[in-house]
Amino acid sequence: MIDKKDEKFKFKLNGKGFHCETDVAISLIGGKWKTVLLWYLKGEKKRFGELRKHCPHITERMLSITLKQLENDGLISRKVYTKKPPMKVEYSLTDFGKSLIPVLDTIAAWGKDVAETKGEKFMDE
């Protein structure tokens, strides 16, 4: 039984309903680490260990999970170069992922502005 209320959604994607256009985007880039990883992949492809270094606080588990989600959503691609013990894997933005760059830039610019304007000030209040 499918709920009739599904019709009230504005968009559908992969069987899931969304409330408005921003909702679709947030489902793809929301979450604690997604934009951060995408941000570091923006310029160039990177290896697992490089990404880990850029995000000192991420656990290997979350890094692995988040990369897989981004891959499943088609935003990044994963390329294995050597399968034997000293493995080498590179992650890079797909074309779809690259379409996100202007969005990431806009978000980052605003975030930076907020951090510079409001950052640190409230710390000791």
Partner DNA sequence: CAGTATCCCCGGAGATACTG
Partner DNA sequence: CAGTATCTCCGGGGATACTG
The binder of 6, among DNA, its own copies, none, by C-beta within 5 to 8 A per type, is none
Q: Answer yes or no: are the C-beta atoms of 80 and 87 closer than 8 Å.
A: yes
* Piece of the chain touching its own copies by CB under 8 A; list 23-31, 44-52, 76-84, 86-94: 23-31
Task: Report residue 26 as tokens.
Answer: 């947030």
* Closest CA relative to residue 39, chosen from 78, 75, 88, 87: 75
**CB closer to DNA out of 14 and 117:** 14
User: Measured from the CB of residue 116, what is the shortest distance to DNA in angstroms?
Assistant: 24
Contact status: 40 vs its own copies (CB under 8 A): yes
Torsion sign across C-alpha atoms 38, 44, 47, 53: negative
Interacting positions 45-64 with its own copies (CB under 8 A): 55-57
**CB closer to DNA out of 32 and 112:** 32
Between the alpha carbon of residue 91 and those of residues 7, 12, 20, 73, 113, the distances in Å are 37, 28, 30, 14, 29
Which residues form the interface with DNA (CB under 7 A)?
A: 31-33, 47-50, 57-62, 64, 66-68, 78, 85-89, 91
